[in-house]
Amino acid sequence: MKIGVVGASGYAGGELLRLLASHPHFEVTAITAHSNAGEQITSVHPQLQSYAGKKFNEFSAADFKNCDLIFLALPHGESAKVIATLPTSAKIVDLGADYRLESAEQWSKYYGGDYAGVWTYGLADIEPFKSLIAKSTKVANPGCYATSIALGAAPSASIADLSDVVVVAASGTTGAGRSAKINLIASEVAGSLTSYKFGGVHQHTPEIEQALTKLSGSVAKISFTPILAPMPRGILSTITAKLTKKVSTEEVHALYASFFADSQFVTVLPIGSMPKTASLTGSNHVQIQVAVDEHTSRLVVSVALDNLGKGAAAQAIQSANIMCGFDEAAGLAFDGLGV
């Protein structure tokens, strides 16, 4: 299949190119990057030697006319501007936020600008989303934080109150994108932790609530505090919710293991083992651990993933595989780096 990538110079775009280079069914034939048009791909992504000698092109719809599948890795609000120019026959996965939210009001509150509409939500490891992806030609890839929190909270709908979920999650600096920002330079980040978008204003909040509301059948609400961690990539989320029935850690662990029994990428670790971001670097895998805090009757869930892998490019490819009828693990069947 002929593949196009729009916005390939960013971190997520670079990760897409890396993973697509070894995909058994996909051949990348169109690569664009507006701000880096004309530059060698390896000058921006020196790790991508399989693309040596190739350049980023300025976006032109004509470059994508023969593409069967297109990935959009553009800043939020930009995908909707190019959709109308792309071939209607092509399947599309958007890594941005433009088509994630069902509510125009929520889009206006958290992002601003014109509301573009909603596509199938690409949370590929959970039903009913997986089945919907298989029937879709347009998929909105979940946000990185949203992926970790939705996966971590979803199995608890039958035992916990999802109307009052508290989340504290730390992410590596690549989650803020590639644009130069003073607060992200090494001297500011190294040896330090800081919260940001404090007080429940992070833009992933409405999509997490939207996904959990669909899965639980009742209105979900989260209080989410993100933290900037002094590392390039990875997310570690800690999720807590009030239990609605008396259960043990062992019972919750069995519930989670059963929920993800058919998932090729979500691992509920043995009791006593904890998720570790480095274990997932470069992969599409997720690690989860659970516990019951008997003192407060709260469920505690720890989730780790790679924000550029499972939180962006790898999950986008997983959804694309499902859309195209391939094994969902095609091009993704490898472990994380570990160090």
* Mean pLDDT computed over 51-56: 97
159 and 101 in a common domain: no
The pLDDT value given to residue 35: 86
The pLDDT value given to residue 339: 76
CATH code (residue 296) = 3.30.360.10
- For 63, what's the count of Cα atoms within 13 Å in the CB-facing half-sphere? 17
Are 33 and 73 contacting, i.e. CB atoms less than 8 angstroms apart? no
CATH code (residue 81) = 3.40.50.720
Does residue 333 sit within a domain?
Answer: no
The pLDDT value given to residue 251: 98
Structural domain total, the chain: 2
The pLDDT value given to residue 55: 97
pLDDT at 253 over 80: yes
Backbone torsions φ then ψ of 150, nearest 5 degrees: -65, -45
The pLDDT value given to residue 232: 93
Does residue 250 sit within a domain?
Answer: yes
87 and 22 in a common domain: yes
Does residue 337 sit within a domain?
Answer: no
The pLDDT value given to residue 328: 98
Backbone torsions φ then ψ of 260, nearest 5 degrees: -105, 20
299 and 164 in a common domain: yes
Does residue 335 sit within a domain?
Answer: no
The pLDDT value given to residue 177: 80
Give residue-wise pLDDT tens across range 109-168.
999 999 999 999 999 999 999 999 999 999 999 999 999 999 999 999 999 999 999 999
The pLDDT value given to residue 292: 98
The pLDDT value given to residue 38: 93
205 and 161 in a common domain: yes
Selected catalytic residue, list 74, 80, 140, 144:
144
Burial of 27 (0-12, 13-18, 19+ CB in 10 A): exposed
| Nearest to 151, CA basis, from 318, 266, 317, 321 | 266
Known catalytic residue: 144?
Answer: yes
299 and 166 in a common domain: yes
172 and 134 in a common domain: no
* Mean pLDDT computed over 169-194: 87
6 and 107 in a common domain: yes
129: Cα separation from own chain's centroid: 14
190 and 129 in a common domain: no
The pLDDT value given to residue 102: 97
* Measured CA angle at 311 (ends 307, 317), to 5 deg: 130
- For helices 314-324 and 11-20, give the axis angle rounded to 10 degrees: 50
Left, alpha or beta for 214 (phi > 0: left; psi -120 to 50: alpha)? alpha
Torsion of CA 127, 280, 254, 151, to 10 degrees: -30
**Hey, which residues does 239 pair with through a beta bridge?**
167, 301
* Mean pLDDT computed over 50-77: 96
223 and 75 in a common domain: no
| Nearest to 220, CA basis, from 171, 154, 269, 170 | 154
127 and 116 in a common domain: yes
Structure tokens at 319: 């959804």
Mean pLDDT of the chain: 96
Query: The domain containing residue 38 runs over which residues?
Result: 2-142+310-324
Does residue 207 sit within a domain?
Answer: yes
161 and 64 in a common domain: no
Helices (H), the chain: 11-20, 41-44, 79-83, 104-110, 129-134, 144-153, 186-189, 205-216, 249-259, 314-324
pTM, 2 dp: 0.96
Does residue 46 sit within a domain?
Answer: yes
Backbone torsions φ then ψ of 76, nearest 5 degrees: -55, 135
The pLDDT value given to residue 82: 95
The pLDDT value given to residue 180: 72
Model confidence band, residue 33 (pLDDT cutoffs 50, 70, 90): very high
Q: What is the CA radius of gyration of the chain?
A: 19
Give residue-wise pLDDT tens across range 186-206.
888 899 999 999 998 999 999
304 and 176 in a common domain: yes
Does residue 189 sit within a domain?
Answer: yes
pLDDT at 78 over 90: yes
Work out the percent of the chain whose per-residue pLDDT is above 90: 94
The pLDDT value given to residue 202: 93
Does residue 105 sit within a domain?
Answer: yes
- Residue indicated by tokens 């932790």: 193
